[in-house]
Structures are given as C-alpha cells and as structure tokens.
Amino acid sequence: MTRQLHFNAFLMDSGHHEAAWRLPESDPFANTDLRHWTNLAQIAERGAFDSIFLADGPALWGNAKHRPGGALEPTVLLTALAVATSHIGLIATASTTYNHPYNLARRFASLDHISGGRAGWNIVTTATKAAAQNFGLDDNPSHRERYRRAAEFTDISIALWDSWEDGAEIGDKAAGVYADEDRIHPIDYEGEYFRVRGPLNVPRSPQGRPLLVQAGSSEDGREFASRYAEAVFTAQQTLADAREFYADMKARARRNGRDPDQIKILPGLVPAIGSTEAEARAIEAELEQLIIPGYGLAQLAKVLELPASALSLDGHLPESVYSRPPVEGAQSRYQLIVELARRDNLTVRQLIGRLGGGRGHRTFAGTPEQVADTIEEWASAGAADGFNVMPPALPSGLESFVDHVIPLLRKRGLFREEYTGATLRDHYGVPRPSSQFANT
C-alpha cells in the first residue's frame, strides 16, 4: 500500500467497554471532567490522529444505575478542547430529529471559527424512544421519515453555511463598510419540515462548511451518506462485510455524481492491546468479568425492540428476531447483532459479552503488531480508508495505540509522521467547498 490511512479517535468517558468505569485505575466521574477530555485530545494529537469524535444523544445512555449515563454537550466540550489543541479535528454528533437547522448550523460554524477550521458534524437521526419522550413525543418518527427530515435539515444547514460568500467581510474602516451585502444571501428555504429565511448570523467559516460525517448503515443510511457524507463511521464484524459496504458506498457516491475518493470509510475497531497476546487477552477478560448481565440484557433488548423478559441469558435469541420486518430504530445495528449471534451460535450471555466492548463494532485483542496487521489487511483488501479507533479503556487504550501501533503503521508507510495541513478537511483530503451562492 502507498496511500495514507485516516484515524479518528472515538472517545467515550472511561472507555468504550461498558464496564471500563469499574477498572481500579478508572475515574468513574471522567465524563464531566474537562481535564480528562483535554488529556485524551492531547494524546490523540500526539499520535497525529485526523480527529477526535464525541457521540451524543438527547437522553440518558442506558440505565445510569450501572454505567455513567450523562454526558457534556459535545460542541461545548469541543470548543474547550479547541483551545487545548492546535491540529486535531473536532467532530461532534448532533441529531437532525431533535434540533433546528439554524441553531445547529450556527453552533458548528462557531466551532469552526474558534478552532481555526477543525470542526466536523456527525449527522444522526436518533433512534431511541427516550429521546422522543424528552421532546413531547410518545415515540420516534418512522425510520424513513427521520431520514427525509435529515436530508432537508442538511440541505438547509449547507445553505446557511454558504449564505456568506468568501470575501463578504471587508472591514473598510475609512469607508465605513464592514461587509459587501451582495455577498450575503437569504436562503428562503421552505420544505416539508422547516421554513428558514437566513442568512446565518455567523460569517463563512475557515472550512466553508464543517466536515460532514455519517454513521448509519441501513439502506436509508447508506443512500443518505452517499449524498452528503465526507467520512462514514461504520460497524462491520467481518472482512467480507466490510468490503461489501466499502464497495457499495463508493459505487453509490459515483452514481450521485461524487468522486468516490472524497468519501472516506472508517470501520470501528475496539483494540485491547497487550505486549503479548496473553496480556491482551487478560485485559479483555478483566473487562468482560466486570459486565453486569442485567444491564447488558436491557441494552440488547432495547436494540432488538423486545421486552427484556423475552431474552434468557443462557438461551439463544428467539427465532422471531431472524424473520421480523425491519425495526424502526437502529436498523443496521439490529442486523449486525442478529447476524453475529447466528454466525457464531452465541447465547444471549455470550452475545452480551461480545457487545460489551463496542456495541457491535469489531473487538480485537492482540499485540501492537497484530493490531497493525489487522489494520493493514483490511485497508489492503478494499475494506477501509482508515479506522474509527474505539479504545475499550481510557486513557490507557488510546496511549497504547498511539505509543505502540502508530509507530508500526508509520514504518509501513501507512500513516503520516506529522500533520501536513491546518484544517480537518486537509487531514481527510477533502476539498474546501465554494459557496453555492457565488457568482449568482
């Protein structure tokens, strides 16, 4: 391989494993500690990661009795991290179902200005009933309706970011002219879900628009990503599935008139790293032993849209999950979990153990060399442009990856020695777009 890979550090409080907060060395209150997040961002930047990423949702994450369920609002947290770092990209999840385009476009434009062009938006539609109930609804809108709204929301956001052309700000003190009004445009958008006049009250930001990221792999999610996404965070358990997804996304982008090289595919990888394979397995086993079965059972039941009473820890999944119509929630994650259980003939207890580390993302225990080999194998086989690295425990897992895996990838010519650009778009090799209103 000669191409350079891309790496995003997906950060989650004490780590991605649901029991990471219970480790002796973990801080159970790390989720609200700015020092913790600053340390993680600086570790990732030391490794020249393209970006860090914070997930989000407008509801508690699971049962707060058994796992930290609260989180700081990510665009606020990333604004603080912007001044503690100088190069790394800053990507936040924000829902198109429970936000308004004007306010959200303003927040991301502000983050892009404050960070000097390092902002990214992970576009999600939000699939939980708990979120719906926090906004006066009994349940989520249907899967297809959420994606229709997401497309309209994204179109409006892009138009708002474009509403100030480059060069609209003049700042001519002598003439008393701050801006060229001919380069500031109302967008006059009226659609099925929103009516927005514009323009945005934040001038055009350093990247023009934040990097657009998407993380859904259902049919609707794939089609949405092929139209809008510049990076895709995805979950696949096998190389064959990852290759299928990669080829499909590149083909869809081409059909939509886009350059397939401008959509970067980053599967999730949850690596437990040890100096020996036995040490890595011990790290994995320690975390699995700390899983609370009742918590895992409830989380699994939620994704499967079944009552927890329908699942038996030492039994297999009910046959009904293999033949039912698509769920209205997280369709691609549902399918991935069901296929994992069937392929490996897992009991519910075993399935919970496999999901505890990455909620369906590929978990892997091995030495730095084995992790680097896996990364190279997937990238060489046409399955990835890079990886969404999800350390099972933090900060230790991120430090191990930066200190021991990154140097191996550099020796193999697969990853940069240092940052060569200033913006998140530079890191991902995605061009800065011009305003759609230019020359109109």
Q: Are residues 87 and 167 in the same domain?
A: yes
Q: Are residues 368 and 330 in the same domain?
A: no
Neighbours of 428 (CB within 10 A): 24
pLDDT tens by residue, the chain, 440 residues: 557 999 999 999 999 988 899 999 999 999 999 999 999 999 999 999 999 999 998 888 777 878 887 789 999 999 999 999 999 999 999 999 999 999 999 999 999 999 999 999 999 998 788 899 999 998 888 889 999 999 999 999 999 999 999 999 999 999 999 999 999 999 999 999 999 999 999 999 999 999 999 987 788 989 999 999 999 999 888 899 999 999 999 999 999 999 999 999 999 999 999 999 999 999 988 988 888 877 777 777 877 887 888 887 878 888 877 776 665 556 666 777 777 777 778 788 777 777 766 566 788 899 999 999 999 999 999 999 999 999 999 999 999 999 999 999 999 999 999 999 999 999 999 999 999 999 76
Q: Are residues 304 and 251 in the same domain?
A: no
d(CA 172, CA 176): 6
Q: Are residues 368 and 323 in the same domain?
A: no
Q: Are residues 34 and 142 in the same domain?
A: yes
The model scores a pTM over 0.75 = yes
Q: Is residue 281 part of a domain?
A: no
Q: Which residues, 6 or more positions from 20, have their beta carbon under 8 angstroms from its beta carbon?
A: 13, 14, 26, 287, 392, 393, 394
Q: Is residue 203 part of a domain?
A: yes
Query: In terms of residue numbers, what domain contains 236?
Result: 6-271+362-428
Domains contained in the chain, number: 2
Q: Are residues 204 and 330 in the same domain?
A: no
Q: Is residue 103 part of a domain?
A: yes
Environment class of 142 (CB within 10 Å of its CB; exposed 0-12, middle 13-18, buried 19+): exposed
Check residue 92 and report its DSSP letter.
E
Q: Are residues 127 and 247 in the same domain?
A: yes
Q: Are residues 383 and 308 in the same domain?
A: no
Q: Which pLDDT belongs to residue 327?
A: 59
Check residue 184 and report its DSSP letter.
B
Domain C-terminal end among 355, 370, 394: 355
d(CA 136, CA 50): 38
374: helix, strand or coil: helix
CATH of the domain at 65: 3.20.20.30
Q: Which pLDDT belongs to residue 246?
A: 97
Domain C-terminal end among 355, 383, 403: 355
Q: Which pLDDT belongs to residue 357?
A: 62
